[in-house]
Amino acid sequence: MIEFHLDTRSGVSPYLQLIHQVRQALRLGLLSEGDQLPTVKDVVARLAINPNTVLKAYRELEYEGLVAARAGVGTFVTRSLADGSLAAHGPLRAELGQWLGRARAAGLDDESIDALFQDTFRTTVPGQPSPAPARRQQT
């Protein structure tokens, strides 16, 4: 069973965050078909948010066809978002972990790592290698 968390400063409304976290979990294979989502009562008891928020998120997911509510029992996953690429997750995750280790060893802080990643992510076109950086710092 997954656990939700809430970022109150992100500006994203809580119910969207919950939906996002469920989809994320589905993509990563943390949730598969037949798994039960946490009950509304458990979610609000941990996060101290309005039960209607959770209900709204679960209803939205049900509308998208990802989950289905079973009266008196709970809400269950009906469709997974993980595809064949799930198998590649493991090695990719390991590589990413190594890259992160090298970046930190080079002295990058979290903000620099994030900026580097975002910039590369945005400018990389699928199928082509990443371009050379536009400017180079002269040390």
- Chain residues that interact with other proteins, rule: CB under 8 A: 8, 11, 40-41, 44-54
Q: What angle do CA 10, 2, 55 make, to 5 degrees?
A: 65
Least Å distance between CB 16 and other proteins? 12
Q: At 118, which amino acid appears? A: Q
**CA–CA dist 125, 85 (Å, integer):** 19
Contacts 24+ apart (CB under 8 A), 98-106: none
**Nearest distance in Å: CB 48, other proteins:** 4
Q: Which is nearer to other proteins, 40 or 82 (CB)?
A: 40
Closer CB to other proteins, 25 or 54, in the complex = 54
Nearer to other proteins, 26 or 53 (CB): 53
